[in-house]
């Protein structure tokens, strides 16, 4: 897996891998993607930590997804499209809060819709 360092400390971009086939539920799709791309969570953690250290008290997962997409586009060449499913936003927020409970107040968390 190719690794590309970004200028944000702790942010490492890797080549994204997509699961084979389509799982039945959003949760199953997310779990398959996350298993192949654990670096995405680490990148979101790095972006969140950097942003909150700069004095922000709230952060939106949508903003983080777009920053990560942009960073990926700037760090890679060619047609290696970074597909990050927006349906995974709520799952990533929950993982971020699970790993960093002190960030619970920084994110808005809504109820999950049933899959």
- Is residue 5 one of the residues assigned to a domain? no
- Is residue 13 one of the residues assigned to a domain? no
Structure tokens at 105: 């107040």
- The torsion of the CA quartet 78, 1, 87, 28, rounded to 10 degrees, works out to 140
Number of domains in the chain: 1
- Is residue 112 one of the residues assigned to a domain? no
What pLDDT is recorded for position 53? Answer: 95
- Is residue 7 one of the residues assigned to a domain? no
Q: Is the pLDDT of residue 81 over 70?
A: no
Q: Is the pLDDT of residue 34 over 70?
A: yes
Q: Which domain holds residue 85?
A: 23-106
What pTM did the predictor assign? 0.79
Q: Is the pLDDT of residue 9 over 90?
A: no
Residue 12, strand partner residues? 5
């Amino acid at each position: 897996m190719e690794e590309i360092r970004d200028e944000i400390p702790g942010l490492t971009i890797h080549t994204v891998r997509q699961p084979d086939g389509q799982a039945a539920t959003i949760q199953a799709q997310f779990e398959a993607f996350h298993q192949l791309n654990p670096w995405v969570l680490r990148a979101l953690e790095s972006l969140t930590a950097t942003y909150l250290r700069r004095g922000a008290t709230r952060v939106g997962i949508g903003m983080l997804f777009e920053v990560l997409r942009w960073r990926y586009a700037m760090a890679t060449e060619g047609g290696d499209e970074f597909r990050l499913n927006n349906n995974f936003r709520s799952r990533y927020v929950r993982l971020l809060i699970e790993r960093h409970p002190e960030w619970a107040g920084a994110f808005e968390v809504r109820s999950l819709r049933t899959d």
